Amino acid sequence: MLITGIKGINDILPDDVGKWQWVESVARRIFSNFGFQEIRIPLLEKTELFARSIGESTDIVEKEMYTFPDRNGQLLTLRPEATASVVRAFIQHRLHLNPTMRKFYTIGPMFRHERPQKGRYRQFHQINAEVFAMDDPMVDAEVIYMLLVFLEELNIPDVTLHINSMGCPDCRQPFRKSLTEYLGRVSDKLCSDCQRRRLTNPLRIFDCKVEPCKQLVREAPVLLDYLCNDCLSNFEGVKEHLTSLGIGYTIDPHMVRGLDYYNRTTFEALTPHLGAQNAVGGGGRYDGLMETLGGPDLPATGFAIGMERLILLLDEKIEIEKDSNRLFLACLGNECQKRGFQFAQQLRLRNIFVEMDYESRSLKAQMRRADKLGATHVLILGDDELAKGVATLRNMETSVQEDIPLEGIVEELLQRLRSAM
């Protein structure tokens, strides 16, 4: 029986990898201009890290995590998101003591056991950015700005920004009361999950994907109407800075993110081009998380971008640059192949793309392969040439061929290929 990969867990084949590398390199360049440094965190963590941070009654923790006991019986989870791990690492390595460690980004796979469909997978990749120990609304605006600059640089079309405020524990208290009252009145119309959520974590009902619940949520009281003065002026500050940066936004009082730890400003970048999977990225402030996880009481904000969705949205026309100097060695006969084999290694050591044929096929077959590989030049090495002490260099674009002496050929090729770049 053929062993295939796991449903919803995909391979990224070489033909597509260029796009991924490009997206990653743009992220690295832009994020680093904004003062972000890369942090690499593990794929596996203790389950309690996610249970405690994301929230026990969220979909992610209740239904989507890949959790298993290891051989010592320790419960582990394949990370469903990155923020909890970045916070854990920050606390564990006492990075708050180092004032140069405030802004982090990380890129890598996440795991959620969801129903696979376009734009939704069980292993997917995120680019995450997190900022610690800064709570000025300017920081929220700047993080959102960075997200949009990044999407713009990738030419992702028709992105809209939705923002909301999740308030603070002070404003959530009275809001929760009136939401619970409302949900009590409509409880017989809620799905079975929301019946339960109504009592455990009513805010989660805003995240329900079941149609009748979505309808009911539209008429529910919203947190935005219950913000305390501090949260209100904070939200005003964020909006003001967004406007000063020329960013348009829609206030969406019904947007709650799928994780419990958010407070104050949350946001999502949406696209109309991916059907139901309309969020390219999202994030927000999570000021309480550091302390919840046993660290210092420091504010934080950040976002995550889904890379698969970005790749789906990339313009088909984008040309991913390949190395512009690509040499193919077409060697005819044993002796020539041995010489070519050596040239190839020497040129590769000098940073030139070289590919050759190892099977002594006909010149025609070798030229076909050179073409497929996108070779800009082919060096033809045959017995006749060898006898004359030369090799023939063919420029694949112009079809011009000329003989080059074997003596000093590596230096000569280097010069020609580099100047052709």
Positions that interact with ligand ATP (CB under 6 A):
81, 112, 114, 119-121, 124, 126, 257-258, 277, 279-282, 304, 306, 308-309
Which of Mg ion, ligand ATP, none sits in contact with 81, Cβ below 5 to 8 A by type?
A: ligand ATP
Pick 147 or 409: Cβ nearer ligand ATP: 147
- We find the least distance from the C-beta atom of residue 57 to Mg ion, in angstroms, to be 15
Pick 139 or 279: Cβ nearer ligand ATP: 279
Calpha distance 5→154 (Å, rounded)? 30
- We find the least distance from the C-beta atom of residue 123 to ligand ATP, in angstroms, to be 8
Which of ligand ATP, Mg ion, none sits in contact with 304, Cβ below 5 to 8 A by type?
A: ligand ATP
Footprint on residues 316-335 left by Mg ion (CB under 5 A): none
Sign of the C-alpha dihedral computed for residues 364, 370, 371 and 372 taken in this order: positive
Q: How many CB atoms lie within 10 A of CB 405?
A: 11
Pick 299 or 306: Cβ nearer ligand ATP: 306
Pick 258 or 284: Cβ nearer Mg ion: 258
Pick 88 or 394: Cβ nearer ligand ATP: 88
User: Residues 20, 127: contact at Cβ < 8 Å?
Assistant: no
Calpha distance 127→31 (Å, rounded)? 10
Which of ligand ATP, Mg ion, none sits in contact with 309, Cβ below 5 to 8 A by type?
A: ligand ATP
- We find the least distance from the C-beta atom of residue 113 to Mg ion, in angstroms, to be 11
Sign of the C-alpha dihedral computed for residues 371, 372, 378 and 381 taken in this order: negative
Pick 232 or 312: Cβ nearer Mg ion: 312
Residue closest to Mg ion when measured from CB atoms: 258
Which of Mg ion, ligand ATP, none sits in contact with 239, Cβ below 5 to 8 A by type?
A: none
Closest CA to 292 of 257, 261, 258, 256: 261
User: Residues 288, 263: contact at Cβ < 8 Å?
Assistant: yes
Which of ligand ATP, Mg ion, none sits in contact with 231, Cβ below 5 to 8 A by type?
A: none
**Which phi and psi angles does 49 have, rounded to 5°?**
-60, -45
Pick 88 or 122: Cβ nearer ligand ATP: 122
User: Residues 165, 227: contact at Cβ < 8 Å?
Assistant: yes
Q: How many CB atoms lie within 10 A of CB 215?
A: 11
Residue 323: C-alpha distances to residues 38, 128, 348 (Å): 26, 29, 13
User: Residues 105, 38: contact at Cβ < 8 Å?
Assistant: yes
- We find the least distance from the C-beta atom of residue 258 to Mg ion, in angstroms, to be 5
- We find the least distance from the C-beta atom of residue 158 to ligand ATP, in angstroms, to be 15
User: Residues 264, 235: contact at Cβ < 8 Å?
Assistant: yes
Which of ligand ATP, Mg ion, none sits in contact with 187, Cβ below 5 to 8 A by type?
A: none
Question: Considering CB under 5 A, how many residues would be counted as binding Mg ion?
Answer: 1
Contact string 249-278 vs Mg ion (x = CB under 5 A) = ---------x--------------------
**129: amino acid identity, one letter:** A
Q: Record the tokens describing residue 284, joined without a space.
A: 């927000």
Sign of the C-alpha dihedral computed for residues 243, 249, 253 and 258 taken in this order: negative
Residues in the chain: 421
Pick 167 or 258: Cβ nearer Mg ion: 258
Pairing of strands 326-331, 353-356: parallel
Pick 191 or 390: Cβ nearer Mg ion: 191
- We find the least distance from the C-beta atom of residue 276 to Mg ion, in angstroms, to be 11
- We find the least distance from the C-beta atom of residue 223 to ligand ATP, in angstroms, to be 17
- We find the least distance from the C-beta atom of residue 155 to ligand ATP, in angstroms, to be 17
User: Residues 400, 394: contact at Cβ < 8 Å?
Assistant: yes
Pick 110 or 223: Cβ nearer ligand ATP: 110
Give the max Cα distance, the chain.
Answer: 95
Pairing of strands 390-395, 377-381: antiparallel
Which of ligand ATP, Mg ion, none sits in contact with 288, Cβ below 5 to 8 A by type?
A: none
Q: Which residues contact 145 (CB under 8 A, 6 or more apart)?
A: 242, 245, 247
- We find the least distance from the C-beta atom of residue 115 to Mg ion, in angstroms, to be 11
Per CB under 5 A, residues contacting Mg ion are 258
